[in-house]
C-alpha cells in the first residue's frame, strides 16, 4: 500500500509542481516583458530627451549640419580604410614623419646620443660642456623677437634672480609645509597677490598649478563636482566658445564632460551669446569665455556671459591664462579695456598663467575661485589610505618648491609698476603691428576682430595664409597658423617689442612673394612649405584621423633619444 500510495503522491506532487512552474514561468515571462518594456521606455526617453536637448541647443538647422558632418566624417573614415587607400595614406604619413624626425632628432658622426646611464658619472665640467652644446643647438631665433609667444622672457636680471630663487629652494616640496614653511608662505602669497589683481572678494581662494592647462582642468573638475554634489548631475556638459583653448577639450576627455563649442560672431569674433544661452540645460555644469583667447586675442563678452550664468545659476569660468599679467594692467598702462574679472558678478573662476606675462619660470599658473567651497570641490582627499591621510589641492602630488620660489621672486621684483610698464610696451607693440597691417598691407591682409591685448591675428581674402607663413618662416619668423578661417597670429612678447618694424617689412616681403607666385612668375613656384602641407591637408579633410595619426607620430618622435 505504502508503495502504491507513493505513486499518486509523487504524481500529484509532480503535477502540482509542474503547474507551479508553468504559473511561475508565465509570471516570469510577464515580469520579463514588463521589465523589457520599462528598460525600453527608459531607453527611448533617454534618447528622446537627448534629442530634444540637441534640437533646442543647436536648432533644427544646426542639428542637420551636425548630422551631415558626422555622416561625412564617417564615410570618409570608411573610405580611408579601403585597402589601396589605407596603405597609400600610411606611406605618406610615414614619409612626413621621417622628414620630421630628420629635422628634430640630430644624428650623424658629430652627435653623441645617450641611451643608457654613463657607466661612470661625468665630472661637473663635462656636464656643463654638454649643457652648453645643448643650449646652442640650432633653433628658432626667439632672441631677435622672431618667435610668436613661446618665450615669455622678463629680462636677464629677472632670469638671474629666478635661478637664484630656484637654487635656494630646489629640493623643497610644498607637500611638506612643516619641512618647508617658507615655500608654503610664498605659495599662499602668490595666490593672494593674483586674487587682488583680479579684484576677488574676501570669500575667494585660489591654488597654484603647473600651467594654464592644469588651471583649466581644475576649474572644470570643481564645476563638475559641484553640479554632482549639489544637483546630482551625472551627464555633465560644458559650453565654451569655438575659440577657447584646447585645454577645455582635454578636460572633457579626462573628466567625461560633453564639450559644446559655440561659434563666434563673424565680425567681432566674440562668442555668440544667444547660441550659448540656447545650449544651457539641466546638465550644464560650466560656461566659459576667454580674456583674451589664444587664436585671435579677442576678449569675449564676459558681462553678457555673466548674465546668462546668473540667470541659469551656473558657474562661469574666465580663461585669462594668456591675458595673465597684461589684462589687469591695461587701464593703468593707458589702453582701453573691458570687464573680465570678479567685478563681473557671474564670474566664478579665473585662470591666470604666471608663466606667461608674469614672466615666472615655465610650469607655473594660478586658478582663482569666487568661493573657498568651489575651490574645495577640486581637492582630492583619501582618508583611509594605508600610507596615511592624503590630501592634495590639484592634479599633482609632489610639486616643485623651486617653481614657487621663482614665481614669488618674479612677482615681487616686477611689482605693479614693472607689470604696467611691460604691458605698455608689449600691448604697444601689438597695436603698432595691428595698425601697420591695416595701413600698409591693405587690401591683401585684414585684421581679425579688434584685438585689445598682445595677440594680433590676420588673414586674407585673396592669398593662401599658409604660404605666407612658409615665406615668413624662410625669413626666420615663427608665427602660429590658425584654422577656420585660415589665418596667422603673432603673440607679442618682450623680445617682439624691438622687432616690430622688421616684422612689418618681412611681412610685406612675404606677401609680395606669395602674390608673385600666384601670378605664375617663372621659377617662383617653390616647393610646398611645411605649414601649407599640414594645414592645406588638415583643412580639406572631413575626417581628421590622418591628422591624429600624424600628431601621434609627432609626439612619438619627441621621445626619440
Ligand X SMILES: *Cc1c(COP(=O)(O)O)cnc(C)c1O
Residue number, 365 or 459, with CB nearest to ligand X: 365
Torsion angle of the four alpha carbons 335, 271, 305, 69, in this order, in degrees rounded to the nearest 10: -160
Stretch that binds ligand X, among 56-64, 93-101, 316-324, 460-468 (CB under 6 A): 316-324
| Min CB(43)–ligand X separation in Å | 39
If binding is defined by CB under 6 A, does position 270 make contact with ligand X? no
| Min CB(322)–ligand X separation in Å | 3
Given 172, 283, 293, 414, the residue binding ligand X (CB under 6 A): 293
Stretch that binds ligand X, among 5-13, 104-112, 166-174, 315-323 (CB under 6 A): 315-323
DSSP letters, 364-396, are -EEEEESSHHHHHTT-EEETT-TT--EEESSS-
Given 322, 344, 403, 447, the residue binding ligand X (CB under 6 A): 322
Rounded CA gap, 238 and 248, in Å?
A: 9
Stretch that binds ligand X, among 176-184, 286-294, 499-507, 541-549 (CB under 6 A): 286-294
Closest CA to 451 of 506, 492, 508: 492
Stretch that binds ligand X, among 26-34, 74-82, 314-322, 480-488 (CB under 6 A): 314-322
Residue number, 249 or 265, with CB nearest to ligand X: 249
Give strand ranges (E) for 185-319.
Answer: 205-209, 237-241, 258-262, 284-290, 316-319
- Please state the separation of Cα 547 from the chain's center in Å: 18
CB atoms within 10 A of CB 229: 10
Q: Kind of pairing, strands 284-290 and 237-241?
A: parallel
Residue owning grid cell 547660441? 275
| Min CB(368)–ligand X separation in Å | 14
Alpha helices, H only, 475-499: 494-497
Stretch that binds ligand X, among 31-39, 205-213, 229-237, 256-264 (CB under 6 A): 205-213
DSSP state of 397: S
If binding is defined by CB under 6 A, does position 319 make contact with ligand X? yes
**Which parts of 434-473 interact with ligand X (CB under 6 A)?**
none
If binding is defined by CB under 6 A, does position 241 make contact with ligand X? no
DSSP letters, 9-64, are HHHHHHHHHHHHHHHHHHHHHHHHHHHHHHHHHHHHHHHHHHHHHHHHHHHHHHHH
Given 224, 245, 370, 375, the residue binding ligand X (CB under 6 A): 245
| Min CB(33)–ligand X separation in Å | 54
Residue number, 260 or 356, with CB nearest to ligand X: 356
- Assign residue 449 a region: left if phi > 0, alpha if psi is -120 to 50, beta otherwise? left
Residue number, 247 or 507, with CB nearest to ligand X: 247
Given 233, 247, 316, 463, the residue binding ligand X (CB under 6 A): 247
Given 174, 211, 297, 304, the residue binding ligand X (CB under 6 A): 211
Rounded CA gap, 254 and 395, in Å?
A: 12
| Min CB(406)–ligand X separation in Å | 16
Residue number, 357 or 458, with CB nearest to ligand X: 357
The answer to whether the CB of 366 falls within 8 A of the CB of 207 is yes
The continuous run of DSSP H or E covering 221 comes out as helix 212-231
Residue number, 222 or 365, with CB nearest to ligand X: 365
The answer to whether the CB of 435 falls within 8 A of the CB of 450 is no
| Min CB(460)–ligand X separation in Å | 24
If binding is defined by CB under 6 A, does position 212 make contact with ligand X? yes
Q: List beta partners, residue 316.
A: 287, 347
| Total residues interacting with ligand X, rule: CB under 6 A | 13
Rounded CA gap, 114 and 517, in Å?
A: 45
| Min CB(290)–ligand X separation in Å | 5
The answer to whether the CB of 208 falls within 8 A of the CB of 187 is yes
If binding is defined by CB under 6 A, does position 213 make contact with ligand X? yes
> 442 phi and psi, to 5 degrees?
-75, 140
Residue number, 224 or 245, with CB nearest to ligand X: 245
Rounded CA gap, 429 and 431, in Å?
A: 5
If binding is defined by CB under 6 A, does position 172 make contact with ligand X? no
- Let me know how long the chain is: 561
Closest CA to 413 of 160, 183, 196: 160
Stretch that binds ligand X, among 15-23, 206-214, 386-394, 513-521 (CB under 6 A): 206-214
| Min CB(225)–ligand X separation in Å | 21
Given 321, 326, 404, 499, the residue binding ligand X (CB under 6 A): 321
Three cell numbers, residue 393: 589641492
If binding is defined by CB under 6 A, does position 284 make contact with ligand X? no
Residue number, 302 or 504, with CB nearest to ligand X: 302
Residues that bind ligand X (CB under 6 A): 211-213, 245, 247, 290, 293-294, 319, 321-322, 353, 365
Amino acid at each position: 500500500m505504502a508503495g502504491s500510495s507513493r505513486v499518486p503522491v509523487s504524481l500529484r506532487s509532480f503535477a502540482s509542481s509542474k503547474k507551479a512552474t508553468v504559473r511561475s514561468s508565465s509570471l516570469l515571462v510577464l515580469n520579463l516583458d514588463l521589465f523589457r518594456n520599462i528598460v525600453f521606455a527608459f531607453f527611448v526617453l533617454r534618447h528622446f530627451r537627448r534629442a530634444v536637448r540637441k534640437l533646442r541647443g543647436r536648432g533644427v538647422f544646426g542639428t542637420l549640419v551636425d548630422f551631415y558632418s558626422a555622416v561625412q566624417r564617417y564615410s570618409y573614415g570608411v573610405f580611408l580604410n579601403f585597402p589601396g587607400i589605407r596603405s597609400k595614406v600610411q606611406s605618406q604619413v610615414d614619409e612626413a614623419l621621417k622628414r620630421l624626425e630628420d629635422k628634430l632628432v640630430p644624428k650623424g658622426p658629430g652627435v653623441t646620443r645617450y641611451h643608457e646611464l654613463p657607466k661612470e658619472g661625468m665630472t661637473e665640467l663635462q656636464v656643463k660642456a654638454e649643457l652648453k652644446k645643448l643650449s646652442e643647438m640650432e633653433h628658432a631665433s626667439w632672441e631677435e623677437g622672431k618667435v610668436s609667444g613661446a618665450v615669455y622672457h622678463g629680462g636677464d636680471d629677472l632670469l638671474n634672480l629666478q635661478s637664484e630663487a630656484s637654487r635656494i629652494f630646489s629640493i623643497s616640496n610644498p607637500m611638506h609645509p612643516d619641512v618647508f614653511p617658507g615655500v608654503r608662505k610664498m605659495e599662499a602669497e602668490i595666490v593672494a597677490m593674483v586674487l587682488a589683481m583680479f579684484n576677488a572678494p574676501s570669500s575667494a581662494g585660489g591654488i597654484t598649478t603647473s600651467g594654464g592647462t592644469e588651471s583649466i582642468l581644475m576649474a572644470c573638475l570643481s564645476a563638475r563636482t559641484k553640479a554632482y554634489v549639489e544637483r546630482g548631475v551625472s551627464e555633465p556638459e560644458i559650453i565654451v566658445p569655438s575659440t577657447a583653448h584646447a585645454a577645455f577639450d582635454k578636460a572633457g576627455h579626462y573628466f567625461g564632460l560633453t564639450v559644446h563649442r559655440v561659434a563666434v560672431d563673424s565680425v567681432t569674433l566674440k562668442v555668440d551669446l544667444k547660441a550659448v544661452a540656447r545650449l544651457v540645460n539641466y546638465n550644464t555644469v560650466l560656461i566659459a569665455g576667454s580674456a583674451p583667447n589664444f587664436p585671435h586675442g579677442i576678449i569675449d563678452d564676459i558681462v553678457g556671459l555673466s548674465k546668462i550664468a546668473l540667470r541659469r545659476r551656473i558657474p562661469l569660468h574666465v580663461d585669462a591664462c594668456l591675458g595673465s599679467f597684461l589684462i589687469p594692467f591695461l587701464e593703468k598702462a593707458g589702453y582701453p579695456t573691458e570687464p573680465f574679472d570678479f567685478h563681473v558678478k557671474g564670474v566664478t573662476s579665473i585662470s591666470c598663467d604666471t608663466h606667461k606675462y608674469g614672466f615666472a619660470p615655465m610650469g607655473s599658473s594660478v586658478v582663482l575661485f569666487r568661493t573657498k567651497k568651489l575651490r574645495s570641490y577640486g581637492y582630492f582627499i583619501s582618508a583611509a589610505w594605508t600610507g596615511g591621510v592624503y590630501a592634495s589641492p590639484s592634479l599633482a602630488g609632489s610639486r616643485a618648491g623651486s617653481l614657487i620660489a621663482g614665481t614669488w621672486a618674479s612677482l615681487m621684483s616686477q611689482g605693479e609698476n614693472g607689470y604696467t610698464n611691460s604691458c605698455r610696451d608689449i600691448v604697444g607693440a601689438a597695436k603698432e603691428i595691428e595698425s601697420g597691417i591695416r595701413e600698409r598691407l591693405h587690401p591683401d591682409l585684414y585684421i581679425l576682430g579688434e584685438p585689445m591685448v598682445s595677440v594680433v591675428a590676420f588673414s586674407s581674402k585673396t592669398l593662401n595664409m599658409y604660404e605666407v607663413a612658409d615665406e615668413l618662416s624662410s625669413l626666420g619668423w615663427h608665427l602660429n597658423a590658425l584654422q577656420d578661417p585660415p589665418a596667422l597670429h603673432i603673440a607679442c612678447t618682450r623680445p617682439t617689442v624691438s622687432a616690430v618694424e622688421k616684422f612689418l617689412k618681412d611681412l610685406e616681403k612675404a606677401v609680395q612673394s606669395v602674390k608673385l607666385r600666384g601670378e605664375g612668375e617663372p621659377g617662383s613656384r617653390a616647393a610646398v612649405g611645411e605649414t601649407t602641407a599640414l594645414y592645406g591637408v588638415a583643412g580639406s579633410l572631413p575626417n581628421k584621423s590622418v591628422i591624429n595619426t600624424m600628431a601621434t607620430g609627432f609626439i612619438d618622435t619627441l621621445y626619440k633619444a
